[in-house]
Structure 1
Amino acid sequence: VEQGFVVVHKPTNWEVDAGSHNNAGSEASSASRRSRPLPLSSFLQDLFPESSILHDAAAGCGFLGRLDAQSSGLVLCALSYEAHLLLQLRQDTHAVSREYVVLCHGHVPTELKEVNAPIRAEPGMSSRVDTATGMPAVTWLRPIAWLVRADTAEKYSLVVLSILTGRKHQIRTHLAHVGHPVVCDGRYGPQKLEADLRWCPRNFLHRFRLEWPELPLAGTEVSKSRHQVREHLPDDLRQVLRASGLRPWRAGCAISAEALDAWAEGAAPLANFDAWAEVSFD
């Protein structure tokens, strides 16, 4: 708070919104509003009533980047316009690290280390890879476990990812583009959704780490220090790893077994992306 921003751990069914809920709706739409995800901006407005940027839709209510309502993880939010400007500059110049863990379909090849595919995103529509009109989008990925489900023999991968850019639904779009949609992603993997929902309650996507440089706010000395916040998988996704029949893709694959157990028990190292060693599952 001293530097003018906070990091929030967003649970599922909370929306990183832009304050649109503040616009009065009709009485007839009240039921539909109650069924929508909860607005994260309202939660922060209650905590920090003196912060005007949290009410400013033009400034995105202070949020730096987005997380889908059915995803979970860490979100940066500025409490002042100065902090928002400085954080946005750091993010636009790729000085903010954003790292995720997902469970996706299929065995992601270990040699697939980067997806560099332009994404076209339009309001109210799904994003898509479009080499002609899309905006640059780069996702780095590292599979850390190859898994199967005991009852179906379906293949899955536990993957750590980092993004250079932050396009709408970037990770979900890129993984679907390379044939490995996120588990329970009805938008980008609809053909898998019905089966996925039998054992996983929502998108298996969690932002577990944020890192950023210290901000040179007025009256403070410039520092080269960097700060990070890390957050283990929430209970619902840990339960998926523990109780859904997932196991290493073959007996004796210690690498997959160790990664599965660590994330399921909240003991994963949550290291920066470069620290995750490249592994071989052979």
Structure 2
Amino acid sequence: MTNKTINEIEIIYEDQNLIVVNKPEGLASIHDSNGKVSDLQTLLQDKLKIKIYVLHRLDKDVSGIILYAKNPKTHKFLNQQFENRIVKKTYLALVHGLIKEKSGLIDKPIKEFGSGRMGVAEKGKESKTFYKVIESYQNYSLVELSPTTGRKHQLRVHLYSIGHPIVGDKLYGEKEIQKNYPRLMLHAKSITFNLTDTKKLYLEANLPKSFSSFINSFKL
């Protein structure tokens, strides 16, 4: 990734303690230990000339809002909010099929089954995702997701488990069908957290063209 590209990454919010950006799909959110793959954390550190601290992560193929702390004190303050589930996040996903129930809760425990693949399992960790259907197109549904837990691949596994895998998800869905789509249609839309002890902050990340143009093609 070139310097021009990192300069083009949208900064949603920045102050002396943290930076919030709109991560493009196809870019890892944290540093790879072998250092062979570009990642957003390293690119931002190179741009800002400081060490930044990871608070949460997005899968490489997921776009959207992500925040990093600029110092240990802020990292601790915000990390406690993540651990105590004070931070609220919403996502947009385009899924296969028309979901009959327009809103609901997917309450299914998740565990890892090896090779990085997760799945629903009775003895897995508690995992809950609220969903709301925003629009329906042909044989697709645009869904807003609000997880209350943060398991690896949670949204992807939960939607797959109810028969509506996310469009373009080659790991959870029929690979021969999923490979025909331009990207994984999952975007981290918004985040709400306490900026200080007395001030709450709500931030949103715009949909990238790779997502919005695909949806708009249904409206033509």
Normalising by the residue count of structure 2, what TM-score does the alignment of the two structures yield?
0.86
Deviation digits for residues 95-121 of structure 1 (CA, Å, limit 9, x no counterpart): 111111000011112255111111113
Q: 1:175 aligns with which of 159, 170, 190?
A: 159
Q: 2:28 aligns with which of 15, 21, 32?
A: 15
Aligned to 2:50: 50
Given the alignment of the two structures, is residue 194 of structure 1 paired with residue 159 of structure 2, yes or no? no
In 1, distance between residues paired with 2:146 and 2:92? 9
CA contact under 8 A between 2:22 and 2:206: conserved in structure 1? no
**Aligned partner letter, 1:194:** E
Aligned to 1:126: 117
Deviation digits for residues 183-234 of structure 1 (CA, Å, limit 9, x no counterpart): 0100011x1x433443x3110000111111123xxxxxx41x2111112210
In 1, distance between residues paired with 2:113 and 2:195? 33
Aligned to 1:137: 127
Deviating above 4 A after TM superposition, structure 1's stretches of 4 or more consecutive aligned residues are none
In 2, distance between residues paired with 1:126 and 1:231? 27
Alignment of 1:1-282 (within 5 A): 1-2=14-15, 4-22=17-35, 33=36, 36=37, 38-51=38-51, 54=52, 62-110=53-101, 112-121=103-112, 124-132=115-123, 134-148=124-138, 155-189=139-173, 191=174, 193-198=175-180, 200-215=181-196, 222-223=197-198, 225-243=199-217, 246=218
Q: Secondary structure at the match of 1:114?
A: strand
**Aligned partner letter, 1:177:** S
In 1, distance between residues paired with 2:134 and 2:203? 21
**Aligned partner letter, 2:176:** E
**Aligned partner letter, 1:44:** L
CA contact under 8 A between 1:3 and 1:83: conserved in structure 2? no
In 2, distance between residues paired with 1:110 and 1:45? 44
**Aligned partner letter, 2:190:** R
CA contact under 8 A between 1:121 and 1:167: conserved in structure 2? no
Identify unmatched segments of 5+ residues in structure 2. Answer: 1-13
Q: Secondary structure at the match of 2:60?
A: coil
CA contact under 8 A between 1:105 and 1:182: conserved in structure 2? yes
Q: CA RMSD in A?
A: 2.0
Identify unmatched segments of 5+ residues in structure 1. Answer: 23-32, 55-61, 149-154, 216-221, 248-260, 262-282
Q: Secondary structure at the match of 1:14?
A: coil
In 2, distance between residues paired with 1:114 and 1:187? 23
**Aligned partner letter, 1:231:** A
Aligned to 2:4: none
In 2, distance between residues paired with 1:113 and 1:80? 38
How many equivalent pairs are there?
207
Bigger share in helix: 1
Normalising by the residue count of structure 1, what TM-score does the alignment of the two structures yield?
0.68
Bigger share in strand: 2
Q: Secondary structure at the match of 2:159?
A: helix
Percent of aligned pairs with the same amino acid: 29
